[in-house]
C-alpha cells in the first residue's frame, strides 16, 4: 500500500468518526426533551411498583394466616371426628344408651313443670300380676290418683348404622333393622305388664323415644308402627309429644290445688260466719245489759234526789255544811240495738252506711 492510499484511508476514517460523533450528539440532544416529558410516567410506574410490592407482602402474610387457620380447622375436624366416633361407640353400649334416654326424660319432665316425689317418681320398684319384679324409668301421678308408666330404654343401633351408611341400599337395610328393633322392644315392653304393678294405673305404657328422628326414621320403614304399639297398649312418645302430655298433667295438678285451696277458703268462711254469729249474740246481750244498767242508774238518781238530797239541803239551809252536796245528772244516752243491714251490693261491698255511723256517733 502506498502513502497516498494510506492517507486517503485515514482521511475517510476520520470523516466517518466525525459523522458518527455528530450523529450521537444530535440523537442525545433530541432525546433529552422527551425524557423530561416522561418523568411523571416514571414516577407513576415507581408508585405502582411500590403498591404491587406491598400487595405481594400482604398476600404472603394472609396466605400464611390462612394456612394456619386451615391447620387449626383440620385439627378441630380430626378431634371432632374422634369424639363423634367415641360417642357412637358409647351409644352402642346398652347401659350408656339407657342412661342417655333417662337424662332426656328427666329434662322433659323438668321443662313440663312437674315436682319430684309429688307429681312423679323415678325408677320405683314393683311386682306385676305374674310375680315378676319391674322397675320403670318414671311413674307420673295424675290429679285423680291414677298413674302413668313411662319407659325410656329404646334400642337405636340400627339408626346409628343407617346414619353412618354411605350407600343408599345399606341405609335402607339399616333403617329396616331399626324399625324391627323398635317393634321388638314394643313386644318386650308389653310383656312386662307395668300397669298391673302400679295401681291404680292407666292401662297403657308410654315408650319414650329420646329423639324425634329415631321415630320418624322407623316410620319410614314401617308406617304402621304406632298402630301396632296401640294394639299392644304401648304409646310411642317423642320429647315433643311427651312434653305436651306432661304439661297437661301439670295443668291438672294446678287446677286440683286451686280447687283444694277454694275448699279451704270456703271452710274458713263458714267458721268465720259462725264466730260472727256468736259475737253478735254477745253484743246483743251486752247492749241489753247496758240499757238495763242505765235505767237502774236513772231510777237510783231519781230516788237519791227525792229522798236523800231533800234532807241534805236542810243542812245547807241551816249553814252547817261547808259545801253543797253535788247533784248527779241522769244518763241520757241510749244503747244502739243490733239490727240486720241491707244486703251488700257490688257498689257497696259492706252495705249502706247511716249518717250517724259516718260521724262516729250512735243513735
Task: Give the predicted TM-score (pTM) of the model.
Answer: 0.47
By CB atoms closer than 10 A (0-12, 13-18, 19+), residue 245 is middle
**pLDDT of 228 over the 90 cut:** yes
**What are the sequence ranges of the domains in the chain?**
86-256
Instruction: Tally helices (H) and strands (E) across the chain.
Output: 10, 7
**pLDDT of 201 over the 50 cut:** yes
Residue that has been written with the C-alpha cell 350408656 in this structure? 96
What average pLDDT does the segment 278-301 reach? 84
Measured at the CA of 54, the angle between CA 48 and CA 55, to 5 degrees, comes to 90
Find how far residue 228's CA is from the centre of its chain.
35
Percent share of the chain, pLDDT over 70: 70
CA atoms lying within 13 Å on the CB side of residue 194: 30
Range ranked top by mean pLDDT from 20-29, 79-88, 160-169 = 160-169
**pLDDT of 14 over the 70 cut:** no
Amino acid at each position: 500500500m502506498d502513502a497516498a492510499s494510506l492517507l486517503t484511508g485515514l482521511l475517510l476514517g476520520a470523516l466517518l468518526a466525525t459523522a458518527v460523533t455528530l450523529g450521537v450528539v444530535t440523537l442525545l440532544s433530541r432525546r433529552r426533551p422527551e425524557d423530561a416529558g416522561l418523568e411523571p410516567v416514571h414516577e407513576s410506574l415507581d408508585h405502582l411498583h411500590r403498591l404491587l410490592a406491598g400487595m405481594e407482602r400482604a398476600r404472603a402474610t394472609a396466605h400464611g394466616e390462612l394456612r394456619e387457620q386451615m391447620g387449626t380447622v383440620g385439627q378441630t375436624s380430626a378431634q371432632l371426628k374422634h369424639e363423634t366416633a367415641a360417642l357412637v361407640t358409647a351409644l352402642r353400649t346398652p347401659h350408656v344408651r339407657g342412661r342417655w334416654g333417662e337424662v332426656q326424660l328427666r329434662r322433659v319432665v323438668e321443662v313440663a313443670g312437674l315436682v319430684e316425689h309429688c307429681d312423679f317418681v323415678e325408677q320405683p320398684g314393683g311386682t306385676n300380676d305374674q310375680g315378676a319384679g319391674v322397675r320403670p324409668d318414671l311413674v307420673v301421678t295424675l290429679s285423680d290418683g291414677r298413674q302413668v308408666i313411662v319407659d325410656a330404654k329404646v334400642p337405636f343401633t340400627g339408626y346409628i348404622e343407617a346414619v353412618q351408611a354411605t350407600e343408599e341400599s345399606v341405609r335402607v337395610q339399616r333403617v329396616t333393622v331399626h324399625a324391627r328393633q323398635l317393634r321388638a322392644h314394643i313386644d318386650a315392653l308389653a310383656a312386662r305388664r307395668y300397669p298391673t304393678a302400679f295401681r291404680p294405673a292407666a292401662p297403657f305404657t308410654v315408650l319414650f323415644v329420646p329423639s324425634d328422628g329415631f321415630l320418624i326414621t322407623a316410620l319410614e320403614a314401617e308406617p304402621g308402627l304406632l298402630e301396632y304399639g296401640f294394639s299392644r297398649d304401648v304409646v310411642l312418645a317423642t320429647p315433643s309429644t311427651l312434653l305436651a302430655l306432661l304439661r297437661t298433667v301439670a295443668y291438672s295438678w294446678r287446677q286440683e290445688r286451686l280447687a283444694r285451696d277454694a275448699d279451704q277458703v270456703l271452710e274458713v268462711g263458714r267458721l268465720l260466719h259462725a264466730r260472727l254469729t256468736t259475737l253478735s249474740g254477745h253484743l246483743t246481750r251486752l247492749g241489753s245489759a247496758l240499757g238495763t244498767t242505765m235505767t237502774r242508774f236513772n231510777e237510783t238518781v231519781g230516788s237519791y234526789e227525792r229522798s236523800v238530797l231533800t234532807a241534805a239541803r236542810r243542812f245547807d239551809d241551816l249553814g252547817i255544811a261547808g259545801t253543797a252536796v253535788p247533784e248527779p245528772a241522769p244518763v241520757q244516752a241510749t244503747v244502739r240495738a243490733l239490727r240486720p243491714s241491707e244486703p251488700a251490693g257490688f257498689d257497696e261491698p259492706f252495705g249502706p252506711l247511716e249518717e250517724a255511723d259516718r260521724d262516729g256517733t250512735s243513735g
